[in-house]
Amino acid sequence: MRQLFITFLVFFSSCITINNLTPKYVDDGTSILTENDKARIYNFDEFFSKNNQDSILYKFEYLNTENFKNLSKRSKYSWYILYAPWCGHSGALLLRNSNRFKQDLKSKFNLKIYLVSQSSDINNMQKMLWTNNKIIEPSYILDPKEFGFVESKKIPNLANNIFGPVHDWSTGSPHCIVTDSNLNLVTYIRGDKTNLDTVLKYIKIHEARK
């Protein structure tokens, strides 16, 4: 009886979790982009600007292989958090690290953080980022022109383009990729438990190996 009750609770809580998640689309969300959504996405080198809709301010840029390399050269270390707006684990990862995002990590640790969505679901991306109080602008979207419209293939395509097929790149989310300014892979972590302390631990290991 006790086992049956536990099974019911697990099933019931799973249903609640599923109902609270945003929808996952057949493609990466590109097909549902409205003109207002498209106005929030800028080419990588375009002049900075913001749009105001529903009291949410946010700007997004497409991220491709070339841009990834350029960003990584801007600081000694780069921490890429790749998330999906439909993913509860992604929300947990962003929420857990939200207080860290407000710190000046670049000057303190020579580390820069980038938030990168696998999806083009602009409205739910804004909700996730705004709810978790992360004002990191711009936020990035893996470019469907280079990586395709199948969301699950985007991260492996990005990773293989930059680091080669030397790792088992997962198709799920969230992911954390940490690189140095020479595009060496410091660490690759799959899951929602990553935090600044974990990232700094791997950076220290990387430094010790030099």
pLDDT digits (tens, 9 = 90+) for 130-152: 765 555 667 899 999 999 998 88
pLDDT of the residue at 32: 80
CA distance 184 to 11: 43
How many Cβ atoms from other residues are within 10 Å of residue 155's Cβ?
Answer: 26
Span 50-76, average pLDDT: 77
Measured in whole angstroms, the distance separating CA 177 from the mean position of its chain's CA atoms is 10
What domain range includes position 18? Answer: 2-209
- DSSP at 167: S
Question: What's the domain count of the chain?
Answer: 1
CA distance 97 to 194: 8
Q: Residue 52's pLDDT band (boundaries 50, 70, 90)?
A: very low
Tell me how far CA of residue 196 lies from CA of 53, 101, 124, 140, 169, in angstroms. 32, 9, 25, 20, 22
Pick the residue with more confidence: 99 or 28?
Answer: 28
- Quick check: 43 pLDDT over 80? no
Flag the least confident range among 53-57, 80-84, 106-110, 120-124.
Answer: 53-57
Pick the residue with more confidence: 34 or 111?
Answer: 111
pLDDT of the residue at 181: 95
How many Cβ atoms from other residues are within 10 Å of residue 166's Cβ?
Answer: 9
- Quick check: 167 pLDDT over 80? no
CA distance 167 to 49: 37
Buried b (16+ CB within 10 A) or exposed e, 168-196: ebeeebbbbbbbbeeeebbbbbbebebeb
pLDDT of the residue at 109: 82
- Quick check: 101 pLDDT over 80? no
Pick the residue with more confidence: 167 or 156?
Answer: 156
Which H or E run contains 163?
helix 151-163
- DSSP at 164: -
Span 201-206, average pLDDT: 94
Q: pTM value?
A: 0.80
Span 114-138, average pLDDT: 77
Using a pLDDT cut of 90, give the percent of the chain over it: 34
Flag the least confident range among 5-14, 21-30, 179-188, 194-203.
Answer: 5-14
Tell me how far CA of residue 116 lies from CA of 103, 200, 208, in angstroms. 19, 20, 28
Flag the least confident range among 3-7, 74-78, 140-144, 203-207.
Answer: 3-7
119 close to 85: Cβ distance less than 8 angstroms:
yes
Q: What is the CATH number of the domain that holds 165?
A: 3.40.30.10
Pick the residue with more confidence: 155 or 48?
Answer: 155
